A = this chain, B = another copy of it.
């Protein structure tokens, strides 16, 4: 599959796309956020909506129709509410792209443009949902209204693979053990981030830590921090700050300045120290999340080693009925 061809085919049939809905649950929903964020910032014509699958079913946007594109993602391809959301969108006349790793799964269905992606070490960013969704958004922008940042974005996506490889080694050398130790000292803690990368702030909390490490924590938007949450900050409370490298960085910098003097347990993961300076500044906001996801993977593994808790272990997911 190829984002350019997929968008061309859709536009050939539909003429024009007026709404894009990004629909999924949990980790898959997280992967769709940067493309939604980019559409909001960069499109002068297309509306973008980002929905948990069940909420999409229960509070369906009235505009969903033949000029809508639904990009629906389920890693297994069998998440029931995500499949149901894809069917709902299809029946409303929308073009539906399903992204899944599960060949032959429910989401890999002939009613949808089913994009089965590979997964695992060494698969390029351009071939997994975090890259595919940005490319779909970029192709749609370029085809319908022009997108001056198109080349910078495509080049950035290509650069991410090398950036991530180097960053993995660096984060393990510099932060991994310390992070695991901070977790051991902290029955709960706070993770801060902003912009499109806030998706990976949320993802670090709900997927890497709550799900895979049974570690309690909370996610806070850096721009919201000063409007309530900062009152809970004090010495002894651990904060993990993801500093993004694009325009939204200003929010993280403001949080950093306060945290430095109001807690003695602060870990900063600065995207600019981890290779994002190699990416064109105009698209960094949309790509930081790729870096942070990879760092989340390393840090949860480091915690897992210290706690003898493999990130693969589940006690409920896929085991119990719910």
Contact = CB atoms under 8 A, between A and B. Distances in A.
Interface hub of A217, A223, A228, A262 (most chain B Cβ within 10 A): A228
Nearest to A258: B322
B41 A195 contact: no
Nearest to A38: B59
B58 A247 contact: yes
Given A27-B228, A215-B232, A55 B207 contact: no
B59 A37 contact: yes
A117 interface: no
B211 A229 contact: yes
A153 to B, nearest CB: 15
Contacts of A29: 224, 227
Interface residue tally of chain A, by bracket? 35 or more
A54 B322 contact: no
Contacts of A257: 322
A210 B232 contact: yes
A54 B187 contact: no
Contacts of A214: 231-232, 234
A93 interface: no
Copies in the complex: 2
A210 B195 contact: no
A199 B322 CA distance: 25
A218 B217 contact: yes
A100 interface: no
Interface in A201-216: 205-207, 210-212, 214-216
Interface string A256-285: 011000100000000000000000000001
A286 to B, nearest CB: 10
Contacts of A231: 210-212, 214, 314-317
Interface string A55-82: 1001111110000000000000001010
26 contacts: A25-B226, A26-B224, A29-B227, A41-B62, A43-B62, A52-B223, A54-B251, A55-B194, A55-B195, A55-B221, A55-B248, A58-B250, A79-B227, A187-B187, A187-B188, A188-B218, A206-B220, A206-B227, A211-B231, A214-B232, A218-B219, A226-B322, A230-B322, A231-B314, A231-B315, A231-B316
Interface of A: 25-27, 29, 37, 40-45, 47, 49, 52-55, 58-63, 79, 81, 187-188, 194-195, 205-207, 210-212, 214-221, 223-224, 226-234, 237, 247-248, 250-251, 254, 257-258, 262, 285, 314-317, 322
